[in-house]
Structure 1
Amino acid sequence: MKKNIVRHMHLVSDSTGETLNSVARACLVQFENVEPREHVWSLVRTKGQMEKVLLGIQDSPGPVLMTVLNDVLRQRLVEGCREMGVPCIPVLEPVIHTLGAYFGATISGRPGLQHALDAEYFDRIEAVNYALGHDDGQQSEKLAEADVILVGVSRTSKTPTCIYLANRGIRAANVPIVPGLPLPEPLFSLKKPLIVGLTKDPDRLVQVRRNRLRIDEDQDGESDYVDPEAVRQEVADARRLYNRQGWPIIDVSRRSIEETAAAILSLLAKHREVDAS
């Protein structure tokens, strides 16, 4: 087994650095046996701050990812990195300039615009509040206000998927399927929301549930909740329900939350197209 190689990486931004962080993590997972040491330099907007960044890079040399829109600061960073012999990658520059050329539009050059307190920002806040207030079947009388409703047995990632969707401005509620308990009656008469059934491989589900019980220090390991045969029946019953209602089904067994959310967003776009036609 190879030992991980420690590599320094510098994320330099004139804003919060969230974009760089996402890009870095998406890229780094492709490299095995590399242990990145991230140095985050955020809100870099003055010459003095940039000089401190360059000193930090000199102390721990490594590739630099940057989102710096100010021409003077960006050029100073590029030149400093060239002198030290480390690569400096402007993450947004190719995209911004290509879009600007295509749109025939002028680039504003103002950092942090994506975090402006606009209507979209407040929509996301409302969506998060909605997801939290309609988690695990709460306030079922207000399900008609949702954009998306996720239905599934326990431990099919309903809650984290709803929160992820909420951060995209989607009002998402989730309703658990609990053996022996009826689902909320309003669920079967809704027209506006997209209702999606989540399912999971029964063996994986048993494993996840056992881990959950272990974390909760619940020693009742012989209950139907983790009994393989009972779980298989639970999953099969849920699938029959989805098919009966005509709800699209997503198997989350081998999907990340992001991949599940992407599939839901695609279904939602089609759902809205049908409603608009």
Structure 2
Amino acid sequence: MSSTDLLHLHLVSDATGETNHQIARACLVQFEDVRAKEHVWSLVRTGSYLDKVIAGVEANPGPVLFTLVDPDLRRRLEEACRRIEVPCLPVLDPIVMTLANYMGRESHPRPGRQHEMDAAYFNRIEAMDFTLAHDDGQQVHDLEEADIVILGVSRTSKTPTSLYLANRGYKTANVPIVPDVPPPDEIFHLKRPLVVAFTTDPARLIQVRRNRVLMLKQREETDYVAMEQVRKEVAEARRMFVKNGWPVIDVTRRSIEETSAAVLQHLEARETGNV
């Protein structure tokens, strides 16, 4: 297959298909210059719908990643893929089998089980409500109820990281560090939450801020995007972080997912005493 060819990738699921989508994306980024078209087949729970899926694979042959628990649907899809001569992979089977063997227990498959509204689901909703109410320093009187408090100067990805962590079930507040404005006294007395600080390269920060200024159609000639002032702002914030013993994460060119993973590493280290 040349770099100019189009890869047809069929994602077949008896639920929302989100698991297939995430796995496919994580794998595709490992290949450079690959043109891929994802054919998403979700809520595949009947034979008639599976017929449409098979017809789609025949029309655009390509690898099939599937999460189906119905044994008859699985068998029919695998037989069709063998006939069409395309790979067919049950993406969750190796993990489920490994866990079952280790625990000595049988799994009990049910479509969409991971999306049921269980306690974890409602915890995520509660975390999201808390995070939205505590975005950008909106509320500081009850920060002790947070799991994580993020500090950082403007445009260091505090809000998107907070929302990502909230979706993982962590109550996350973020507080901006503003030049010449004392931070809320409450952050210096927190006991329960993990307080973590974000920093970044000043040059990169100015690029991000300039894009923000242009989007808002504001004037650029301000200290907000002046190199000397931004360097001073970042340096002073970092001195405060170090002085208070807060872990500092450099978010320069990190994705939100990578930054969130770093935050959770600090949280786990604190909870296990491996700080």
Q: TM-score, normalised by structure 1?
A: 0.96
Structure 1 residue 4 displacement after superposition = 4.7
Once residues 95 and 70 of structure 2 are traced to their aligned partners in structure 1, the CA distance between those partners, rounded to angstroms, is: 16
SS in 1 for 2:222: coil
Once residues 33 and 139 of structure 2 are traced to their aligned partners in structure 1, the CA distance between those partners, rounded to angstroms, is: 47
Alignment-derived partner of residue 216 in structure 2: 216
Structure 1 residue 109 displacement after superposition = 1.6
Once residues 149 and 120 of structure 1 are traced to their aligned partners in structure 2, the CA distance between those partners, rounded to angstroms, is: 21
Structure 1 residue 181 displacement after superposition = 1.3
Once residues 154 and 38 of structure 2 are traced to their aligned partners in structure 1, the CA distance between those partners, rounded to angstroms, is: 36
Alignment-derived partner of residue 261 in structure 1: 260
Q: How do 1:77-116 and structure 2 match up within 5 A?
A: 77-116=77-116
Structure 1 residue 274 displacement after superposition = 3.9
Letter in 2 for 1:134: H
Preserved CA contact (<8 Å) 1:14 1:45: yes
Q: How do 1:162-181 and structure 2 match up within 5 A?
A: 162-181=162-181
Once residues 238 and 84 of structure 2 are traced to their aligned partners in structure 1, the CA distance between those partners, rounded to angstroms, is: 59
Alignment-derived partner of residue 123 in structure 1: 123
- State the Cα RMSD in Å: 1.4
Once residues 41 and 158 of structure 1 are traced to their aligned partners in structure 2, the CA distance between those partners, rounded to angstroms, is: 35
Give yes or no for the alignment of 1:18 onto 2:15. Answer: no
Letter in 2 for 1:79: E
Alignment-derived partner of residue 67 in structure 1: 67
Preserved CA contact (<8 Å) 1:5 1:33: no
Preserved CA contact (<8 Å) 2:3 2:35: no
Alignment-derived partner of residue 156 in structure 2: 156
Once residues 184 and 5 of structure 2 are traced to their aligned partners in structure 1, the CA distance between those partners, rounded to angstroms, is: 53
Structure 1 residue 268 displacement after superposition = 0.8
Alignment-derived partner of residue 188 in structure 1: 188
Q: Percent identity?
A: 56
Aligned structure 1 segments of 4 or more residues deviating by more than 6 angstroms: none
Q: Deviations over 1:123-168 (max 9, x none)?
A: 0000011111100001111111100000000111000100110011
Q: Deviations over 1:100-139 (max 9, x none)?
A: 1111111112111111111110000000111111000011
Count the aligned residue pairs: 273
Structure 1 residue 97 displacement after superposition = 1.0
Structure 1 residue 3 displacement after superposition = 7.0
Once residues 257 and 147 of structure 1 are traced to their aligned partners in structure 2, the CA distance between those partners, rounded to angstroms, is: 18
Structure 1 residue 68 displacement after superposition = 0.9
Once residues 66 and 215 of structure 1 are traced to their aligned partners in structure 2, the CA distance between those partners, rounded to angstroms, is: 41
Once residues 213 and 102 of structure 1 are traced to their aligned partners in structure 2, the CA distance between those partners, rounded to angstroms, is: 55
Once residues 271 and 3 of structure 2 are traced to their aligned partners in structure 1, the CA distance between those partners, rounded to angstroms, is: 50
Structure 1 270/178 Cα, relative in aligned 2: closer, same or farther at 3 Å?
A: same
Once residues 242 and 99 of structure 2 are traced to their aligned partners in structure 1, the CA distance between those partners, rounded to angstroms, is: 43
Preserved CA contact (<8 Å) 1:197 1:242: yes
Q: Give structure 2 stretches of 5+ with no counterpart.
A: none
Once residues 90 and 160 of structure 2 are traced to their aligned partners in structure 1, the CA distance between those partners, rounded to angstroms, is: 32
Once residues 60 and 216 of structure 1 are traced to their aligned partners in structure 2, the CA distance between those partners, rounded to angstroms, is: 44
Once residues 10 and 119 of structure 2 are traced to their aligned partners in structure 1, the CA distance between those partners, rounded to angstroms, is: 33
SS in 1 for 2:83: helix
Q: TM-score, normalised by structure 2?
A: 0.96
Q: Give structure 1 stretches of 5+ with no counterpart.
A: none
Structure 1 residue 45 displacement after superposition = 0.8
Once residues 4 and 142 of structure 2 are traced to their aligned partners in structure 1, the CA distance between those partners, rounded to angstroms, is: 51
